[in-house]
Amino acid sequence: MSEFSIQTELEVLELLVEESPCHVMEITNAVDGHPITIDQTCAHLHSEGCIVPLGRGLYEITDAGEQRLEIQHDS
């Protein structure tokens, strides 16, 4: 995974810690990303168990997502 992708994932997770649940378009605007990139990022984070879709484009962070942020901030 590229450095850009990791940074984008961290930005998405940080936003969801502060404002969860959050719609994918709100995430896109907040992290200043392209909608397709953010959609792919959310899909990847979901596949890793870091976020969970609530339907209608809403996502919520999971405990695993919060732990991943803590690990990233500690390194």
Return the HEC string of 45-61.
Answer: HHHCCCEEEEECCEEEE
pLDDT band at 50 (very low <50, low <70, confident <90, very high): very high
Select the more confidently predicted residue: 8 or 73.
Answer: 8
Q: What is the pLDDT of residue 48?
A: 96
What percentage of the chain exceeds 70 in pLDDT? 95
Q: What is the mean pLDDT of the chain?
A: 92
Reply yes or no on whether the pLDDT at 47 is more than 60.
Answer: yes
Q: What is the pLDDT of residue 33?
A: 87
Instruction: In whole angstroms, give the CA distance from residue 5 to residue 37.
Output: 9
